[in-house]
Amino acid sequence: MGRWQPDARGRLARAALELYVERGFDRTSVAEIAERAGLTERTFFRHYADKREVLFAGSSALQEVLAHAVAEAPGSATPLDAVAVALEGAAAVLEERQEHARQRQSVIDANTELQERELIKLASLSGTLAEALRERGVDEASAGLAAEVGIAVFKFAFRRWVDRTEEKELAQFVREALAGLRAVTADA
Amino acid sequence: MGRWQPDARGRLARAALELYVERGFDRTSVAEIAERAGLTERTFFRHYADKREVLFAGSSALQEVLAHAVAEAPGSATPLDAVAVALEGAAAVLEERQEHARQRQSVIDANTELQERELIKLASLSGTLAEALRERGVDEASAGLAAEVGIAVFKFAFRRWVDRTEEKELAQFVREALAGLRAVTADA
Protein backbone atom coordinates (compact mmCIF):
# COMPACT_ATOMS: atom_id res chain seq x y z
CA MET A 1 0.00 0.00 0.00
CA GLY A 2 1.41 3.33 -1.07
CA ARG A 3 1.68 6.48 0.96
CA TRP A 4 -1.48 7.88 -0.60
CA GLN A 5 -4.48 6.25 0.96
CA PRO A 6 -7.80 7.31 -0.54
CA ASP A 7 -10.40 8.05 2.14
CA ALA A 8 -8.26 6.65 4.94
CA ARG A 9 -10.40 8.48 7.49
CA GLY A 10 -13.66 6.99 6.23
CA ARG A 11 -12.18 3.52 5.91
CA LEU A 12 -10.91 3.66 9.48
CA ALA A 13 -14.32 4.81 10.74
CA ARG A 14 -16.11 2.00 8.91
CA ALA A 15 -13.61 -0.62 10.10
CA ALA A 16 -13.89 0.64 13.68
CA LEU A 17 -17.69 0.54 13.69
CA GLU A 18 -17.73 -2.96 12.18
CA LEU A 19 -15.42 -4.21 14.91
CA TYR A 20 -17.28 -2.41 17.71
CA VAL A 21 -20.51 -4.06 16.55
CA GLU A 22 -18.90 -7.50 16.12
CA ARG A 23 -16.78 -7.63 19.29
CA GLY A 24 -17.85 -4.77 21.45
CA PHE A 25 -16.05 -1.46 21.93
CA ASP A 26 -13.89 -2.60 24.85
CA ARG A 27 -12.60 -5.67 23.05
CA THR A 28 -11.45 -3.80 19.95
CA SER A 29 -7.93 -2.38 19.68
CA VAL A 30 -6.59 0.38 17.44
CA ALA A 31 -4.25 -2.20 15.91
CA GLU A 32 -7.23 -4.31 14.86
CA ILE A 33 -9.05 -1.32 13.43
CA ALA A 34 -6.02 -0.33 11.37
CA GLU A 35 -5.58 -3.91 10.17
CA ARG A 36 -9.22 -4.23 9.13
CA ALA A 37 -8.92 -0.96 7.19
CA GLY A 38 -5.68 -2.12 5.56
CA LEU A 39 -3.83 0.82 7.10
CA THR A 40 -1.24 1.34 9.82
CA GLU A 41 -1.79 2.36 13.45
CA ARG A 42 0.21 5.46 12.67
CA THR A 43 -2.35 6.42 10.03
CA PHE A 44 -5.12 5.82 12.55
CA PHE A 45 -3.54 8.28 14.98
CA ARG A 46 -3.12 10.84 12.23
CA HIS A 47 -6.92 10.91 11.97
CA TYR A 48 -8.21 10.13 15.45
CA ALA A 49 -6.85 10.77 18.93
CA ASP A 50 -8.17 7.42 20.21
CA LYS A 51 -10.70 4.72 19.41
CA ARG A 52 -13.45 6.61 21.22
CA GLU A 53 -13.06 9.68 19.04
CA VAL A 54 -14.06 7.71 15.95
CA LEU A 55 -17.61 7.65 17.33
CA PHE A 56 -17.77 11.36 18.14
CA ALA A 57 -15.87 12.99 15.32
CA GLY A 58 -19.11 14.00 13.55
CA SER A 59 -20.24 16.13 16.45
CA SER A 60 -18.49 19.36 15.43
CA ALA A 61 -20.08 19.12 11.97
CA LEU A 62 -23.48 18.85 13.66
CA GLN A 63 -22.69 21.91 15.78
CA GLU A 64 -21.95 23.90 12.65
CA VAL A 65 -25.19 22.80 11.02
CA LEU A 66 -27.20 23.85 14.08
CA ALA A 67 -25.47 27.21 14.52
CA HIS A 68 -25.75 28.03 10.82
CA ALA A 69 -29.43 27.08 10.62
CA VAL A 70 -30.34 29.22 13.64
CA ALA A 71 -28.41 32.16 12.22
CA GLU A 72 -30.13 31.82 8.83
CA ALA A 73 -33.68 31.35 10.15
CA PRO A 74 -36.09 34.14 9.05
CA GLY A 75 -36.08 37.23 11.25
CA SER A 76 -39.73 36.59 12.13
CA ALA A 77 -39.01 33.08 13.50
CA THR A 78 -39.63 32.59 17.21
CA PRO A 79 -36.81 30.98 19.22
CA LEU A 80 -38.49 27.58 18.98
CA ASP A 81 -39.11 28.04 15.23
CA ALA A 82 -35.40 28.68 14.77
CA VAL A 83 -34.56 25.63 16.87
CA ALA A 84 -37.00 23.53 14.82
CA VAL A 85 -35.30 24.59 11.57
CA ALA A 86 -31.91 23.71 13.07
CA LEU A 87 -33.06 20.29 14.27
CA GLU A 88 -34.44 19.47 10.83
CA GLY A 89 -31.09 20.43 9.35
CA ALA A 90 -29.30 18.12 11.76
CA ALA A 91 -31.80 15.37 10.97
CA ALA A 92 -31.05 15.70 7.25
CA VAL A 93 -27.33 15.22 7.93
CA LEU A 94 -27.90 12.10 10.02
CA GLU A 95 -30.51 10.74 7.61
CA GLU A 96 -27.83 10.28 4.95
CA ARG A 97 -25.97 7.96 7.28
CA GLN A 98 -28.88 6.05 8.72
CA GLU A 99 -27.22 2.65 9.00
CA HIS A 100 -24.09 4.21 10.45
CA ALA A 101 -26.14 6.15 13.00
CA ARG A 102 -27.96 3.00 14.10
CA GLN A 103 -24.86 0.87 14.43
CA ARG A 104 -23.10 3.67 16.27
CA GLN A 105 -26.02 3.93 18.69
CA SER A 106 -26.00 0.20 19.41
CA VAL A 107 -22.30 0.45 20.31
CA ILE A 108 -22.95 3.41 22.61
CA ASP A 109 -25.95 1.74 24.26
CA ALA A 110 -23.72 -1.16 25.29
CA ASN A 111 -21.14 0.99 27.08
CA THR A 112 -21.69 3.35 30.03
CA GLU A 113 -18.59 5.43 29.36
CA LEU A 114 -19.73 6.05 25.78
CA GLN A 115 -23.22 6.95 27.00
CA GLU A 116 -21.72 9.57 29.26
CA ARG A 117 -19.70 10.94 26.38
CA GLU A 118 -22.81 11.05 24.17
CA LEU A 119 -24.73 13.00 26.80
CA ILE A 120 -21.87 15.51 27.05
CA LYS A 121 -22.06 15.88 23.27
CA LEU A 122 -25.79 16.54 23.43
CA ALA A 123 -25.21 19.09 26.21
CA SER A 124 -22.69 20.88 24.04
CA LEU A 125 -25.17 20.92 21.15
CA SER A 126 -27.63 22.60 23.51
CA GLY A 127 -24.93 25.18 24.33
CA THR A 128 -24.39 25.78 20.62
CA LEU A 129 -28.10 26.34 20.02
CA ALA A 130 -28.40 28.72 22.98
CA GLU A 131 -25.41 30.74 21.81
CA ALA A 132 -26.79 30.97 18.27
CA LEU A 133 -30.16 32.14 19.63
CA ARG A 134 -28.52 34.82 21.78
CA GLU A 135 -26.73 36.06 18.70
CA ARG A 136 -30.15 36.55 17.10
CA GLY A 137 -31.01 38.82 20.02
CA VAL A 138 -33.07 36.27 21.97
CA ASP A 139 -32.89 36.95 25.70
CA GLU A 140 -30.70 34.76 27.87
CA ALA A 141 -33.52 32.84 29.56
CA SER A 142 -35.59 32.09 26.44
CA ALA A 143 -32.45 31.09 24.54
CA GLY A 144 -31.34 28.65 27.23
CA LEU A 145 -34.79 27.16 27.65
CA ALA A 146 -35.57 26.80 23.95
CA ALA A 147 -32.16 25.19 23.37
CA GLU A 148 -32.46 22.78 26.28
CA VAL A 149 -35.98 21.75 25.32
CA GLY A 150 -35.01 21.53 21.65
CA ILE A 151 -32.25 19.05 22.42
CA ALA A 152 -34.64 17.05 24.64
CA VAL A 153 -37.04 16.84 21.70
CA PHE A 154 -34.24 15.83 19.36
CA LYS A 155 -32.99 13.16 21.74
CA PHE A 156 -36.49 11.75 21.98
CA ALA A 157 -37.01 11.80 18.19
CA PHE A 158 -33.59 10.31 17.52
CA ARG A 159 -34.27 7.43 19.89
CA ARG A 160 -37.54 6.61 18.14
CA TRP A 161 -35.83 6.75 14.76
CA VAL A 162 -33.00 4.49 15.91
CA ASP A 163 -35.42 2.00 17.47
CA ARG A 164 -37.06 1.86 14.05
CA THR A 165 -40.50 0.70 15.10
CA GLU A 166 -41.87 2.73 12.18
CA GLU A 167 -40.25 3.45 8.82
CA LYS A 168 -40.04 7.20 8.87
CA GLU A 169 -37.38 9.78 8.27
CA LEU A 170 -35.67 11.31 11.29
CA ALA A 171 -36.95 14.74 10.23
CA GLN A 172 -40.49 13.36 10.43
CA PHE A 173 -39.88 12.10 13.97
CA VAL A 174 -38.48 15.53 14.85
CA ARG A 175 -41.61 17.25 13.48
CA GLU A 176 -43.86 14.85 15.37
CA ALA A 177 -41.93 15.35 18.59
CA LEU A 178 -42.22 19.14 18.24
CA ALA A 179 -45.95 18.77 17.61
CA GLY A 180 -46.12 16.47 20.63
CA LEU A 181 -44.31 19.07 22.71
CA ARG A 182 -46.88 21.68 21.72
CA ALA A 183 -49.75 19.32 22.51
CA VAL A 184 -48.26 18.31 25.84
CA THR A 185 -47.75 21.94 26.90
CA ALA A 186 -51.00 23.31 25.48
CA ASP A 187 -53.33 21.11 27.49
CA ALA A 188 -51.33 21.30 30.70
CA MET B 1 -13.35 7.22 68.92
CA GLY B 2 -15.74 4.41 69.70
CA ARG B 3 -17.37 2.01 67.32
CA TRP B 4 -20.58 3.99 67.35
CA GLN B 5 -20.18 7.04 65.16
CA PRO B 6 -23.19 9.31 65.10
CA ASP B 7 -24.03 10.41 61.55
CA ALA B 8 -20.82 9.02 60.09
CA ARG B 9 -22.34 9.14 56.63
CA GLY B 10 -23.29 12.80 56.87
CA ARG B 11 -19.95 13.76 58.38
CA LEU B 12 -18.10 12.00 55.59
CA ALA B 13 -20.22 13.75 52.97
CA ARG B 14 -19.61 17.17 54.51
CA ALA B 15 -15.87 16.54 54.88
CA ALA B 16 -15.65 15.33 51.27
CA LEU B 17 -17.46 18.35 49.88
CA GLU B 18 -15.31 20.74 51.93
CA LEU B 19 -12.16 19.15 50.57
CA TYR B 20 -13.44 19.01 46.98
CA VAL B 21 -14.20 22.74 47.16
CA GLU B 22 -10.85 23.58 48.82
CA ARG B 23 -8.51 21.39 46.78
CA GLY B 24 -10.49 20.13 43.84
CA PHE B 25 -12.00 16.67 43.42
CA ASP B 26 -8.92 15.10 41.81
CA ARG B 27 -6.56 16.26 44.52
CA THR B 28 -8.60 14.84 47.39
CA SER B 29 -8.07 11.29 48.66
CA VAL B 30 -10.39 9.04 50.63
CA ALA B 31 -7.78 9.03 53.41
CA GLU B 32 -8.01 12.80 53.66
CA ILE B 33 -11.80 12.74 53.69
CA ALA B 34 -11.83 10.18 56.50
CA GLU B 35 -9.28 12.18 58.46
CA ARG B 36 -11.23 15.43 58.11
CA ALA B 37 -14.36 13.62 59.33
CA GLY B 38 -12.45 12.07 62.25
CA LEU B 39 -13.23 8.58 60.96
CA THR B 40 -11.33 5.73 59.32
CA GLU B 41 -11.04 4.86 55.63
CA ARG B 42 -12.78 1.63 56.46
CA THR B 43 -15.77 3.54 57.73
CA PHE B 44 -15.75 5.59 54.54
CA PHE B 45 -15.97 2.45 52.42
CA ARG B 46 -18.81 1.12 54.56
CA HIS B 47 -20.85 4.10 53.39
CA TYR B 48 -19.58 4.91 49.90
CA ALA B 49 -18.09 2.80 47.12
CA ASP B 50 -15.65 5.56 46.15
CA LYS B 51 -15.10 9.30 46.45
CA ARG B 52 -17.27 9.99 43.43
CA GLU B 53 -20.29 8.30 44.94
CA VAL B 54 -20.39 10.85 47.77
CA LEU B 55 -21.61 13.39 45.22
CA PHE B 56 -24.28 11.17 43.69
CA ALA B 57 -25.68 9.25 46.63
CA GLY B 58 -28.72 11.54 46.84
CA SER B 59 -29.89 10.59 43.38
CA SER B 60 -31.92 7.53 44.32
CA ALA B 61 -33.82 9.59 46.92
CA LEU B 62 -34.66 12.06 44.17
CA GLN B 63 -35.87 9.23 41.94
CA GLU B 64 -38.23 8.07 44.66
CA VAL B 65 -39.59 11.57 45.14
CA LEU B 66 -40.27 11.92 41.41
CA ALA B 67 -41.87 8.49 41.01
CA HIS B 68 -44.04 8.95 44.09
CA ALA B 69 -45.21 12.43 43.08
CA VAL B 70 -46.20 11.29 39.59
CA ALA B 71 -48.08 8.31 41.02
CA GLU B 72 -49.93 10.52 43.50
CA ALA B 73 -50.85 13.32 41.08
CA PRO B 74 -54.63 13.77 40.63
CA GLY B 75 -56.20 11.51 38.03
CA SER B 76 -57.19 14.55 35.98
CA ALA B 77 -53.60 15.79 35.71
CA THR B 78 -52.11 15.84 32.20
CA PRO B 79 -48.70 14.20 31.74
CA LEU B 80 -46.97 17.57 32.00
CA ASP B 81 -49.04 18.53 35.07
CA ALA B 82 -47.87 15.33 36.75
CA VAL B 83 -44.28 16.08 35.77
CA ALA B 84 -44.63 19.63 37.11
CA VAL B 85 -45.82 18.31 40.48
CA ALA B 86 -42.90 15.90 40.58
CA LEU B 87 -40.35 18.58 39.73
CA GLU B 88 -41.68 20.83 42.48
CA GLY B 89 -41.33 17.92 44.89
CA ALA B 90 -37.72 17.41 43.84
CA ALA B 91 -37.12 21.16 44.15
CA ALA B 92 -38.40 21.10 47.73
CA VAL B 93 -35.91 18.36 48.62
CA LEU B 94 -32.97 20.24 47.11
CA GLU B 95 -34.12 23.56 48.59
CA GLU B 96 -33.42 22.27 52.09
CA ARG B 97 -29.80 21.72 51.14
CA GLN B 98 -29.22 24.85 49.11
CA GLU B 99 -25.62 25.50 50.14
CA HIS B 100 -24.73 21.83 49.70
CA ALA B 101 -26.31 21.79 46.24
CA ARG B 102 -24.35 24.86 45.18
CA GLN B 103 -21.02 23.64 46.47
CA ARG B 104 -21.63 20.25 44.90
CA GLN B 105 -22.39 21.90 41.57
CA SER B 106 -19.19 23.96 41.67
CA VAL B 107 -17.19 20.75 42.19
CA ILE B 108 -18.97 19.06 39.28
CA ASP B 109 -18.55 22.07 36.99
CA ALA B 110 -14.78 21.85 37.47
CA ASN B 111 -14.50 18.21 36.37
CA THR B 112 -15.50 16.67 33.02
CA GLU B 113 -15.83 13.15 34.39
CA LEU B 114 -18.22 14.36 37.08
CA GLN B 115 -20.23 16.31 34.50
CA GLU B 116 -20.68 13.13 32.48
CA ARG B 117 -21.83 11.32 35.59
CA GLU B 118 -24.28 14.11 36.41
CA LEU B 119 -25.78 13.93 32.92
CA ILE B 120 -26.23 10.17 33.29
CA LYS B 121 -28.03 10.84 36.56
CA LEU B 122 -30.35 13.32 34.89
CA ALA B 123 -31.02 10.81 32.10
CA SER B 124 -31.96 8.19 34.66
CA LEU B 125 -34.31 10.69 36.35
CA SER B 126 -35.96 11.15 32.96
CA GLY B 127 -36.33 7.36 32.71
CA THR B 128 -37.93 7.29 36.17
CA LEU B 129 -40.43 9.98 35.20
CA ALA B 130 -41.33 8.23 31.94
CA GLU B 131 -41.85 4.92 33.73
CA ALA B 132 -44.06 6.55 36.38
CA LEU B 133 -46.13 8.23 33.65
CA ARG B 134 -46.60 4.95 31.80
CA GLU B 135 -47.83 3.41 35.02
CA ARG B 136 -50.51 6.12 35.07
CA GLY B 137 -51.62 4.86 31.67
CA VAL B 138 -49.92 7.59 29.64
CA ASP B 139 -48.96 6.31 26.18
CA GLU B 140 -45.33 5.49 25.47
CA ALA B 141 -44.61 8.49 23.25
CA SER B 142 -46.23 11.15 25.45
CA ALA B 143 -44.61 9.68 28.55
CA GLY B 144 -41.14 9.74 27.01
CA LEU B 145 -41.54 13.22 25.62
CA ALA B 146 -43.03 14.78 28.77
CA ALA B 147 -40.28 13.18 30.88
CA GLU B 148 -37.46 14.28 28.59
CA VAL B 149 -38.78 17.81 28.34
CA GLY B 150 -39.50 17.92 32.07
CA ILE B 151 -35.90 17.08 32.90
CA ALA B 152 -34.70 19.69 30.38
CA VAL B 153 -36.84 22.27 32.18
CA PHE B 154 -35.54 21.15 35.56
CA LYS B 155 -31.93 21.29 34.39
CA PHE B 156 -32.50 24.81 33.14
CA ALA B 157 -34.22 25.93 36.36
CA PHE B 158 -31.60 24.27 38.55
CA ARG B 159 -28.79 26.05 36.69
CA ARG B 160 -30.45 29.44 37.22
CA TRP B 161 -30.96 28.68 40.91
CA VAL B 162 -27.35 27.59 41.37
CA ASP B 163 -26.04 30.64 39.53
CA ARG B 164 -28.05 32.67 42.02
CA THR B 165 -28.45 35.85 40.02
CA GLU B 166 -31.81 36.29 41.76
CA GLU B 167 -32.81 35.27 45.26
CA LYS B 168 -35.62 32.85 44.55
CA GLU B 169 -36.54 29.36 45.59
CA LEU B 170 -35.75 26.54 43.21
CA ALA B 171 -39.46 25.70 43.02
CA GLN B 172 -40.07 29.24 41.77
CA PHE B 173 -37.44 28.82 39.05
CA VAL B 174 -39.11 25.53 38.10
CA ARG B 175 -42.52 27.21 37.82
CA GLU B 176 -41.06 30.03 35.74
CA ALA B 177 -39.28 27.59 33.45
CA LEU B 178 -42.51 25.63 32.92
CA ALA B 179 -44.33 28.89 32.16
CA GLY B 180 -41.47 29.81 29.82
CA LEU B 181 -41.83 26.45 28.09
CA ARG B 182 -45.51 27.10 27.52
CA ALA B 183 -44.80 30.59 26.18
CA VAL B 184 -42.02 29.36 23.93
CA THR B 185 -44.20 26.60 22.45
CA ALA B 186 -47.42 28.64 22.26
CA ASP B 187 -46.11 31.39 20.03
CA ALA B 188 -44.07 29.10 17.82
Residues B67 and B140 in one domain: yes
Closest chain B residue to A145 measured between Cα atoms? B156
Closest chain B residue to A148 measured between Cα atoms? B152
Average pLDDT, chain B: 91
Whichever domain contains A83, its CATH number is 1.10.357.10
Answer yes or no: is B1 within a domain.
no
Residue range A69-124, pLDDT digits in tens: 999 999 899 999 999 999 999 999 998 888 889 999 999 999 988 999 999 999 99
Residues B132 and B159 in one domain: yes
pLDDT of B5 > 90? The answer is no
Residue range B90-101, pLDDT digits in tens: 999 998 888 889
Average of pLDDT values for A146-151?
94
Asked whether the beta carbons of residue A181 and residue B185 sit closer than 8 angstroms, the reply is yes
Residues B89 and B174 in one domain: yes
Residues B87 and B43 in one domain: no
Answer yes or no: is A176 within a domain.
yes
Of B39, B54, B69, the position where a domain reaches its end is B54
Answer yes or no: is A3 within a domain.
no
**Interface with chain A: mutation pick from B165, B174, B181, highest number of A CBs within 10 Å:** B181
User: How far is the alpha carbon of A81 from chain B, nearest alpha carbon, in Å?
Assistant: 6
Which member of B115, B117, B141 has the closest CB to residue A180? B141
* pLDDT (0 to 100) of residue A108: 95
* pLDDT (0 to 100) of residue B3: 56
Whichever domain contains A44, its CATH number is 1.10.10.60
pLDDT of B60 > 90? The answer is no
* pLDDT (0 to 100) of residue B131: 97
Asked whether the beta carbons of residue B185 and residue A187 sit closer than 8 angstroms, the reply is no
Residues A48 and A96 in one domain: no
Residues B72 and B18 in one domain: no
Q: What is the 3-state secondary structure (H, E, C) of chain A?
A: CCCCCCCHHHHHHHHHHHHHHHHCCCCCCHHHHHHHHCCCHHHHHHHCCCCCHHHHCCHHHHHHHHHHHHHHCCCCCCHHHHHHHHHHHHHHHHHCCHHHHHHHHHHHHCCHHHHHHHHHHHHHHHHHHHHHHHHCCCCHHHHHHHHHHHHHHHHHHHHHHHHCCCCCCHHHHHHHHHHHHHHHHHCC
Residues A28 and A113 in one domain: no
Asked whether the beta carbons of residue A142 and residue B186 sit closer than 8 angstroms, the reply is no
Closest chain B residue to A143 measured between Cα atoms? B184
Residues B32 and B67 in one domain: no
Closest chain B residue to A113 measured between Cα atoms? B116
Residues A66 and A153 in one domain: yes
Which member of A119, A159, A184 has the closest CB to residue B116? A119
How many whole angstroms separate alpha carbon A19 and alpha carbon A175?
34
Which member of A84, A155, A184 has the closest CB to residue B80? A184
Residues B80 and B117 in one domain: yes
Closest chain A residue to B144 measured between Cα atoms? A156
Residues A76 and A127 in one domain: yes
Answer yes or no: is A2 within a domain.
no
Asked whether the beta carbons of residue A141 and residue B155 sit closer than 8 angstroms, the reply is no
pLDDT of B36 > 50? The answer is yes
* pLDDT (0 to 100) of residue A182: 87
Average pLDDT, chain A: 91
Which member of B116, B145, B184 has the closest CB to residue A146? B184
Answer yes or no: is B92 within a domain.
yes
Least confident range of A37-41, A77-81, A165-169: A165-169
Domain around A65: 58-186
Residues A100 and A49 in one domain: no
Residue range B127-183, pLDDT digits in tens: 999 999 999 999 988 999 999 999 999 999 999 998 876 788 999 999 999 999 888
Answer yes or no: is B113 within a domain.
yes
Count up the domains in chain A and report the number: 2
Asked whether the beta carbons of residue A145 and residue B156 sit closer than 8 angstroms, the reply is yes
* pLDDT (0 to 100) of residue B98: 85
